[in-house]
Amino acid sequence: MDPIDLTGKVALITGASRGIGAAAAWSLAEAGASVVLTARSAPEIEALAAELRAAGYAALAVPCDVSDYAAVEAAVKATTATFGRLDILLNNAGLIDPIARLVDSDPAGWTRVIDVNVNGVYHGIRAAAPAMVDGGIVINISSGAATGNLEGWTHYCASKAAVLSLTRGADLELKGRGIRVVGLSPGTVATQMQREIKASGINPVSKLEWEDHIPPEWVGKCVVWLCGDAGEEHAGGDVSLRADAVRDALGLPRQ
C-alpha cells in the first residue's frame, strides 16, 4: 500500500481509549492527522493523548459519552476550536455486553447498547457533518453481525444492522456536500470485547481462541486506507477486512 498522507487533516475518534479506537488514533497520527480522542474514560484518553504528543503528534482528549448528543456536539466544537477544522470522523464506540438470549435479556442493558451503538453513530454524523466545511470522511465501524445473526447477540446484530442502514442513508444524503460515508467490518479483533464474548460462552464466536482474532492495528491501517482514494469506491458500502482483495491492498496476510 502506498503511504497515505493526511497532513493537515483532523480526525475525531469515538471509543478511543483502547482497542480499535486507540490503534486507529496511532495509525491516523502516523499518517499525519491531528487526532481528537473521545471516550467516557477521561484518564485513559488523556494518557493516550499524552503518549501521542510525546511521540511528536498533535492530540487532544475530550471526555464524551456518545449516547449524549450534547456531549458529542461539544466534542466537535472542541475539535474545531483547537485545530480549526474537522475532516475525518471514526464512529468506533460500541458495546456488546450484556450478552444474553432475548428471554433472559435486561431491557435496560438492551437500551444502553442501542443508545451507544446506534444513537452514538447518528450523534456523531449529525454533529460532525455541519463542521466538515471542505468535505470529509465518516467511517462507521460495522460488523458481519449486521447481516448475520448469532444466538445471544440479537441486540448487537440489530444495532449493527441499523448502523449499516445509517451508513447507506448518510452517504446518500451527504455526498452532495463532498462527504463520503463508509462502513468497515473488521471481523473478530483482539480487544476487550472479545474477552466479554469469550466469557459469555454463547454461540461459536465465544469458542474462538485469542490467537484467532486479528490485531487492532490491522483495523487502524484499514481506517487510514479508507481515508485515501481507495475509500471513494466503497462510499455508501461496507468494507470487510476479511476480504482477500482488501487484505491484499493493505499488504496484510490473507485468512
Q: Of 57, 69, 122, 156, which residue is the catalytic one?
A: 156
pLDDT tens string 30-57: 999 999 999 999 999 999 999 999 999 9
* Known active-site residue 156: yes
Give the side-chain half-sphere CA count within 13 A for 120.
Answer: 28
Gap between the Cα atoms of 130 and 149, Å rounded: 34
pLDDT of res. 210: 67
Please state the pTM of the whole predicted model: 0.94
Residues 6+ apart with CB under 8 A from 54: none
Where the chain has pLDDT below 50, the residues are none
Q: Is the dihedral of CA 159, 165, 169, 172 positive or negative?
A: positive
- Domains of the chain in start order, with CATH, are 10-249 (3.40.50.720)
Cell of 231: 475509500
Taking alpha carbons only, the member of 77, 169, 181 closest to residue 135 is 181
Are 155 and 110 contacting, i.e. CB atoms less than 8 angstroms apart? Answer: yes
